């Protein structure tokens, strides 16, 4: 296995670490706790527009940033999975070019290939 001597770039390291941290149950509990504290401060602040703006702005910013973090980690996970599958196909001497480039196909072609493989597996099993 060859590893890039420079290692992953800064954004990759950041998104990987952030996704791992934010994926823990304690982060969810912390988020719920923040919401409870926010809700409890409502009566103290008279349910003001500023009080509402704090949670609206905070959740919007977090959601906006998480879209990029999730997409980055999903893209890398998918690419790594493709590399591993390609290696297995190479090792098993599977030469069907359509399978190697399946991610470039449309949904109908992918579904057609899936059905074809499923039928071949049923015939062979």
Average predicted confidence (pLDDT) for the chain: 90
Whole-structure pTM value: 0.72
Share of the chain above pLDDT 70, in %: 95
Would you place residue 3 in the very low, low, confident or very high pLDDT band (cuts 50, 70, 90)? low
Q: Give per-residue pLDDT as tens, 83-96.
A: 999 899 899 888 88
Residue 1 has pLDDT above 90, yes or no: no
Task: Write the secondary structure of the chain as one string of H (helix), E (strand) and C (coil).
Answer: CCCCCCCCCHHHHHHHHHHHHHCCHHHHHHHHHHHHHHHHHHHHCCCCHHHHHHHHHHHHHHHHHHHHHHHHHHHHHHHHHHHHHHHHHHHCCCCCHHHHCHHHCCHHHHHHHHHHHHHHHHHHC
């Amino acid at each position: 296995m060859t590893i890039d001597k420079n290692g992953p770039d800064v954004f990759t390291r950041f998104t990987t670490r952030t996704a791992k941290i934010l994926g823990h149950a304690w982060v969810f509990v912390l988020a719920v706790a923040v919401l409870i504290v926010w809700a409890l401060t409502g009566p103290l602040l008279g349910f003001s527009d500023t009080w509402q703006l704090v949670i609206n702005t905070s959740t919007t910013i977090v959601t906006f940033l998480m879209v990029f973090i999730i997409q980055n980690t999903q893209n890398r996970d998918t690419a790594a999975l493709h590399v591993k599958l390609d290696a297995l196909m190479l090792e098993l001497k599977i030469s069907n070019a359509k399978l190697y480039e399946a991610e470039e196909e449309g949904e109908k072609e992918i579904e057609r290939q899936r059905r074809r493989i499923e039928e071949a597996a049923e015939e062979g099993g």
